[in-house]
Structure 1
Amino acid sequence: MTSTIHQPAVLEARGEFSLTASARFLEGFTPAARPDAAEESGALRLAFPVERSWEHAGVLIRQRAPGQVEVEIAHGSPETAVRQVRRILSLDVDGAGFSLVAQGDPVVRAASAEYPGLRPVLFHSPYEAAAWTIIGNRIRMTQAARIKQRLAEEHGVAIEVAGKKLASFPAPEQLLAMPRLPGLAEVKMDRLRAVARAARDGLLDAESLRELEAPEALRQLQRLPGIGPFSAELILVRGAGHPDVFPANEQRLHDQMRQSYGVPEASVAELAEIAEGWRPFRSWVALLLRTRREAEPVPEPRNREL
């Protein structure tokens, strides 16, 4: 699909935000890795299926001023695509109070200073986050990232954004029509189809998931085949963008917390108590600490769920 740039929309960021930090996160964090979205000359390019309509959109994003982000729509409906970009960059959350959380906790203050302006950068939708969790079960993240990118390139839609072609992940109906992918086990294909049906039927809608109490949203997500506690948290936090969930099943986060807070024997319940001080930005702080953990040279994990 060729580029058709519409009048840019301007998104206001309440609180500190850096598009450069978002782009660096996309480049370096394997589950979200988008080599074709790398920042060039202050711009970030994304392509994705838009929730509910599932039409494919392409966007060009620039930060023109400290509190302003400009979004040009290369393809798709401007209104729906811009709304999704706002959520992807966590600009739909008022972050003005985050500095108060950082001021009250030396660990959060240090992590915030290390990654200034970094907010959670989400999967394009809970649907794509759920697909990632299925693909990544019991294999290395780098291998899962290659499979996900291959799905986008071979079964999604190519969209030109500012002179660069991006591969948009298959919409639910495209995924349902897809034949078995070599290298992907049949059980994973069955579970991917279940995820596609759930997205098509509105069961993975970001706004609907955010309206629920977090425990109920997690329970609903775990009704999907292949979605356990770890995956449900990832979908809610990194797919729907819930800003205030403590990931109780994220081992690498817990390890980083034990190291950063000097509590090597702390239980998950005790770590959750520490995280109470992060409210109402527990998901945001968790991302900062997990990002710090990712920068350390440790063996690459496999998803624990099957």
Structure 2
Amino acid sequence: MPAVTLTPAGPFSLASGIRFLEGFGPSNHHPAADGILRLAFPADDGTSVVSAAVRQEVRADGGTGTVRADFTVHPGTPDAAKSVKAVNAEAAARQAVRAQLARVLSLDVDATGFTGLATDPVVAGLMADYPGLRPVCFHSPYEAAAWAIIGNRIRMTQAAAIKARIAHQHGHRVHIAGRTLHAFPTPTVLRTLTHVPGLTDIKIQRLHALAEAALDGTLDAPHLRALPADYALAELRALPGIGPFSAELILIRGAGHPDVFPRHEPRVHKSIATAYGLRAPSTDDVTPLARIADRWKPYRSWVAFLLRVHAQDTPRPGPTCHGSPPPS
């Protein structure tokens, strides 16, 4: 089985990422006790599926270990398989898988400067609570967009069940490291579905449109991250059924953009206000919160992610973080 290795630049803990996925509904993740992250997902090419078993080296000195992923690429069609053999594209496939896995685990970002944000006591507390945790992203902007459509105006548990059922009934089944997983359908498959229990006709139509957008490159992660964030968000909002909240989800957690302040994420706003001892934020003006987030550059998405995780882990009435705001 081919493999790729990823060397984290800065702190990273795969174990922390696995623990996060245990409570992340869209992932439908059922962890094993062996420390292996098993993944199955549509590849960025829109037709094939990747299965991978991801492990992190345990270093005796306690340093950040190298990440290794043993993987298999499952071509979407016999013609695709012949094409791969014809052009001897094994090296290209390995490079593509490596890039996608790095993005999913936020290992495509140099985090050597992230610990420098610990001069902010709030951020320092989050780092202490979640050592080595980086955002674990959707497998692609396409899957993030599909989740946004499926989950619109229904409960997360209901949406997660529908997404899992779609994967079981229409996705590629793979065996990886002793377990069976079902990948979410590729765009070429998703655009053929005409009936999905639990989804309205308009949602199915929107999923078809997203599948076409994925195939024509509109949802290409490198393309979205190369654009100024406002431009990328505007492109995403032009897609059927994608509003401001969903556009940010796709860019931040689908394309893995590390430095976007989520202006339409009320739970994050509440977490920031609570952590920094501010009054409840106004939904009409998040400028004061955005100013605080500017201190987190170039990792605004990452700190917002940690605040969201902290809020979920903290019993109500609300999250409390460490320290007080740093001087401006």
Q: Shift in Å at residue 49 of structure 1?
A: 0.7
Q: Which of the numbers 178, 192, 195 marks the counterpart of 1:163? A: 178
Match in the other structure for 1:80: 96
State the TM-score, normalizing by the size of structure 1. Answer: 0.92
Q: Shift in Å at residue 179 of structure 1?
A: 2.2
Match in the other structure for 2:5: 10
Match in the other structure for 2:243: 228
Q: Deviations over 1:120-160 (max 9, x none)?
A: 10000000000000000000011111111111110110011
1:263 equivalent to 2:256? Answer: no
Residue type matched to 1:126 in 2? P
1:22 equivalent to 2:17? Answer: yes
Match in the other structure for 1:275: 293
Give me the whole-angstrom Cα distance separating, in 2, the residues matched to 1:25 and 1:112.
Answer: 14
1:131 equivalent to 2:123? Answer: no
Q: Which of the numbers 34, 42, 56 marks the counterpart of 2:49? A: 56
Match in the other structure for 2:191: 176
Superposition pairs for residues 185-264 of structure 1, below 5 Å? 185-264=200-279
Match in the other structure for 1:93: 109
The list of structure 1 runs, each at least 4 consecutive aligned residues, that deviate by more than 6 angstroms after superposition, is none
**Secondary structure of the residue that 2:57 maps to in structure 1?**
strand
Q: Shift in Å at residue 79 of structure 1?
A: 2.6
Give me the whole-angstrom Cα distance separating, in 2, the residues matched to 1:192 and 1:95.
Answer: 34
Q: Single out whichever of 44-53 and 72-81 deviates more from structure 2.
A: 72-81
Match in the other structure for 1:45: 38
Q: Shift in Å at residue 9 of structure 1?
A: 1.8
State the TM-score, normalizing by the size of structure 2. Answer: 0.86
8 Å contact 1:29–1:294 — kept in the other structure? no
Q: Deviations over 1:66-104 (max 9, x none)?
A: 231011113444332222111100000000000001x22
8 Å contact 1:245–1:283 — kept in the other structure? yes
**Secondary structure of the residue that 1:232 maps to in structure 2?**
helix
Q: Which of the numbers 122, 126, 129 marks the counterpart of 1:107? A: 122
Give me the whole-angstrom Cα distance separating, in 2, the residues matched to 1:194 and 1:270.
Answer: 36
Q: Single out whichever of 267-276 and 77-86 deviates more from structure 2.
A: 77-86
Residue type matched to 1:181 in 2? V
Gaps of 5+ in 1: 300-306
**Secondary structure of the residue that 1:35 maps to in structure 2?**
coil
Q: Shift in Å at residue 276 of structure 1?
A: 0.5
8 Å contact 1:23–1:39 — kept in the other structure? no
Residue type matched to 2:125 in 1? A
Gaps of 5+ in 2: 59-63, 75-92, 318-328
1:70 equivalent to 2:68? Answer: yes
8 Å contact 1:152–1:170 — kept in the other structure? yes
Q: Which of the numbers 154, 167, 177 marks the counterpart of 2:169? A: 154
Relative distance call for 1:52 and 1:74 in structure 2 (3 A) is closer
Q: Deviations over 1:102-129 (max 9, x none)?
A: x221111101110000001000000000
Aligned-residue identity in percent = 51
Aligned residues: 291
Q: Single out whichever of 116-125 and 51-60 deviates more from structure 2.
A: 51-60
Q: Shift in Å at residue 219 of structure 1?
A: 0.2
Instruction: Flag the structure with larger Rg.
Output: 2
**Secondary structure of the residue that 1:278 maps to in structure 2?**
coil
Q: Shift in Å at residue 263 of structure 1?
A: 0.2
Give me the whole-angstrom Cα distance separating, in 2, the residues matched to 1:290 and 1:114.
Answer: 13
8 Å contact 1:59–1:71 — kept in the other structure? yes
Residue type matched to 1:270 in 2? P
Give me the whole-angstrom Cα distance separating, in 2, the residues matched to 1:265 and 1:22.
Answer: 30
Residue type matched to 2:262 in 1? P
> Cα RMSD over matched residues?
1.4
Residue type matched to 1:121 in 2? V
